[in-house]
Amino acid sequence: MNQLFGSNSLRNGPDGRGRFGEFGGRFVAETLMPLILEVEQAYLAARADPSFRTELDAYLKNYVGRPSALWFAERLTRHLGGARIYFKRDELNHTGSHKANNCMGQILLAKRMGKTRIIAETGAGQHGVATATMCALFGLPCTVYMGATDVTRQAPNVFRMKLLGAEVKPVTSGASTLKDAMNEALRDWVANVEDTYYLIGTVAGPHPYPMMVRDFQSVIGEEAKAQLHEAEGRLPDAAVACIGGGSNAMGLFHPFLDDPPVRLIGVEAGGHGIETGEHAASLTGGRPGVLHGNRTYLLQDDDGQIIEAHSISAGLDYPGIGPEHSWLHDIGRVEYVSATDEESLAAFQLCTRTEGIIPALEPAHALAHVTKLAPTMGKDQIILMNLCGRGDKDIFTVAEHLGVKL
Amino acid sequence: MSRITPRFAALKREDRGALIPFIEAWDPDAATSAALLRGLPAAGADLIEIGIPFTDPMADGPIVQAAGKRALRSGVNVRHVLAMVREFRREDDATPIVLMGYLNPILSYGVEGFCTDAAAAGVDGLIMVDLPTEEADMLVPQAAAHGIDIIRLVAPTTHDDRLPLVLQASSGFIYYVSIIGITGTRSTTAEHLAEAIPRIRRVSDLPIAVGFGVRSPAQAAEAVRVADAAVVGSALCSTIAANVGKPELVRSVLDQVRELAAGVRGARAHA
């Protein structure tokens, strides 16, 4: 553990090759390689430029609505009878999720790079909506790739994207979900490298995306740390977030990586249960490999073919995970657990009834774990959970599972 | 040394370009694919490129994606691909074979074991689409140790400053991705090649193959007027797709290869 909590910070990654330990990197076709390097150069220059930060902060404050609130979930705390539960309320952001933080950062970068067309992939549609929103704001044409299965189960978000002026392209390859949408977005980018910027929505993909998206999302953990300090005068005992690609979790965890007393817990989508093989838990049920430009834990068969993920939540339905999570898993700094579809549906309803907040099905997975964890902790202890999205988009899916016809 | 360098040297003496057909292993099934492979040299293939099917082929267009899907449905794995090459080598020890694919199935097999087994099966070269120079140390030393050439991709976006880096550890030949895009979706032009190929020749003496945008005998001929080889993939995969389940599949594909070979062989005579 000395290596873990010694003088070396865990927040310095990635290295010059875009690696977190043995994970990450840049596994893309040569056609894209020069562009990936250009994005990295442009991002490093922007990060070092105070005027970029000033501009981003102004948009985050006045357009996205940051800082987001920190809410003490008192009724839920009493109901569970253990640790004090705080929600970081990133569902209150404009567009309804944490995705706006990253989209605002990247679109400002795309503008600096002189790119005139934006493409994105989306699963639940939250990233697609956030991207379409920023494109409307800055008057840029936007194409969003979305698995055909997700187009069906996230119909409200598809309509929102179209209202915002984006072109939504349904992808029918593979299982027609997030993985396939990402393949198709990469193919579009390969064919349109000159004018197009690929606005990746999670902490995956080739370097510099995992680093860049983490940096833009770290505002979540930084704010929460300061807000909790103000409310309770101390650090949380545990921070909990759901994980698909892992951007909201990375954003919450990163500012706490060098605070050893804080347990960090990532909750993967357990689908029908890890033992059934129908899940999206890459760390719990996968092994390292290369997909979508980075080396990371993947759901794959014995021959290295990628296995389709399963989750009730379209946003977690991805067979990979950000490479920094893979590294944090291997060094043991973050614990990774899973919650099933059923557990998440129960948590979804519990949150709605006790706190008057309809969470997205994604953070309902984090909450499902909180309902197990909180009762095992003392009443003087604190759990910080990222409520990273609101559930309006999910009411049709939930209704169907509850046997209700809308 | 692999079979690739001697083959290009022989072609140079004849002053003709090479035809490199591409098929996906086990597309549409094991037996048909083996029959195709067996027939390719006599139909005019100078080198052969075999695709290792992968679920997520991010540089491939719809036609090669569909070919990979058919192959995976027929149950192919990396071991089968190597067995197919080994079987081919019992009759043909001269035609170079290059495997093209994505990294993950190789990593899953184990890089060292793969290079050992591939060399033993008679594989001459590897084209790894998602392994740029920056990551090449994951595979190049092991491949080189077993005498397998690593064929690097050069794209229109690979600018002059970057070329020496990309080509530093390459051997066998250079694969020029002649369009900005995925396989089989656009056609390259003679004008583009006339500008692009000399740019690469200034940096490397290796033979250059042109691929991604070559479909017809005329386009293949154009390619070998400036470059050393033409790779045709999607056009053949289309013919396979159109003939799945029909007895004439193998003959149709090999006829098409003969036409492409005629185009390539006639190219410099008319130049």
Active-site residue B60, yes or no? yes
pTM above 0.90, yes or no: yes
The pLDDT of residue A174 is: 76
pLDDT digits over B129-148, tens only?
A: 999 999 999 999 999 999 99
pLDDT digits over B175-225, tens only?
A: 999 999 998 888 899 999 999 999 999 999 999 999 998 999 999 999 999
Q: For residues B245 and B240, what is the distance between their CA atoms, to the nearest angstrom? A: 9
ipTM of the complex: 0.95
The pLDDT of residue A1 is: 37
The pLDDT of residue A205 is: 97
Q: For residues B208 and B175, what is the distance between their CA atoms, to the nearest angstrom? A: 6
User: What is the average pLDDT value for chain B, to the nearest integer?
Assistant: 96
The pLDDT of residue A402 is: 93
Q: Residue B188: which of B198, B200, B176 has the closest Cα?
A: B176
pLDDT digits over B31-57, tens only?
A: 999 999 999 999 999 999 999 999 999
The angle that helices A33-47 and A99-112 make with each other, rounded to 10 degrees, is: 100
A7 pLDDT band, cuts 50/70/90, is low
Q: For residues B205 and A279, what is the distance between their CA atoms, to the nearest angstrom? A: 51
Considering only residues 15 to 44 of chain B, which have any Cβ-Cβ distance to chain A shorter than 8 Å? none
Catalytic-role residue among B24, B27, B46, B49: B49
Residues of B in contact with A41 (CB under 8 A): none
Gap between the terminal Cα atoms of chain A:
53
Q: How many residue pairs bridge chain A and chain B with CB atoms within 8 Å of each other?
A: 120
Residue A214 near residue A251 (C-beta atoms within 8 A): yes
Q: Residue A316: which of A370, A237, A388, A211 has the closest Cα?
A: A388
pLDDT digits over A267-320, tens only?
A: 999 999 999 999 999 999 999 999 999 999 999 999 999 999 999 998 898 999
Residue A251 near residue A355 (C-beta atoms within 8 A): no
Instruction: Provide the CB-side half-sphere exposure for B225 (13 A, CA).
Output: 20
CA angle A256, A258, A260 (to 5 degrees): 90
Q: Is A371 on the interface with B (CB under 8 A)?
A: no
CB count within 10 Å of CB B45 equals 26
In CATH, the number for domain B4-265 is 3.20.20.70
Considering only residues 157 to 216 of chain B, which have any Cβ-Cβ distance to chain A shorter than 8 Å? 157-159, 162, 166, 177, 180-182, 185-186
Mean pLDDT of A87-116: 98
pLDDT at B170 over 60: yes
Q: Residue B61: which of A226, A279, A173, A45 has the closest Cα?
A: A173
The pLDDT of residue B246 is: 97
What residues does A336 pair with on adjacent strands? A266
A155 pLDDT band, cuts 50/70/90, is confident
User: What is the average pLDDT value for chain A, to the nearest integer?
Assistant: 95
pLDDT digits over A226-249, tens only?
A: 999 999 999 999 999 999 999 999
